């Protein structure tokens, strides 16, 4: 398992990019894409050497609740060799799986899943490509 990115909830990706560009540049790593499985618009960017996924709610998706409570930090993501084993390990350590494996548009169809734990909050597991 290795750290892949941190995700930020956004009401508007373009506005968030402008805000993040102070004091230095933000480099887009992908185009903005819509993921119908998750109901969100997404873009992966580099902010000072940190990969950040911007997650824009496209209506009533999973990010709406976070934004309504004023949260911007959404999740951290780890890339894993075996997604099913990572979820089992997370469950064994007390995490609750909140989204089971499904293909992710932003990551070329690689599967992702989400678990909630008491230390890190929402954790995304990204299947290694």
With residue 70 as reference, give the H or E element that holds it.
Answer: none
At residue 80 the predicted structure's pLDDT band, cuts being 50, 70 and 90, is very high
**Residue-wise pLDDT tens digits, 85-126:** 999 999 999 999 999 999 999 999 999 999 999 988 999 999
Q: Is this structure's pTM higher than 0.85?
A: yes
Cβ burial of 110 (10 Å; 0-12, 13-18, 19+) is middle
Tell me: pLDDT of 67 over 90.
Answer: no
CATH of 2-127, picked from 3.90.1150.10, 3.10.180.10, 3.40.50.360, 3.20.20.140, is 3.10.180.10
**Residue-wise pLDDT tens digits, 9-59:** 998 999 999 888 888 889 999 999 999 888 899 999 999 899 999 999 877
Domains in the chain: boundaries = 2-127
Q: With the C-alpha atoms ordered 85, 93, 95, 69, is the resulting torsion angle positive or negative?
A: negative
Cβ burial of 107 (10 Å; 0-12, 13-18, 19+) is buried
* Cα–Cα distance, 54 to 5 (Å, whole number): 10
């Amino acid at each position: 398992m290795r750290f892949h990115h941190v995700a930020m909830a956004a009401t508007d990706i373009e506005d968030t990019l402008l805000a993040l560009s102070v004091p230095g540049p933000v480099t887009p790593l992908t185009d903005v894409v819509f993921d119908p499985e998750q109901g969100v618009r997404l873009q992966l960017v580099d902010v000072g050497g940190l990969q950040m996924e911007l997650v824009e709610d496209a209506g009533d998706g999973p990010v709406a609740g976070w934004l309504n409570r004023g949260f911007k930090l959404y999740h951290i993501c780890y890339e894993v060799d075996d997604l099913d084993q990572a979820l089992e390990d997370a469950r064994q350590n007390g995490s609750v799986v909140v989204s089971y494996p499904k293909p992710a548009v932003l990551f070329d169809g690689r599967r992702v899943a989400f678990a909630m734990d008491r230390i890190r909050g929402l954790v995304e597991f990204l299947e290694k490509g």
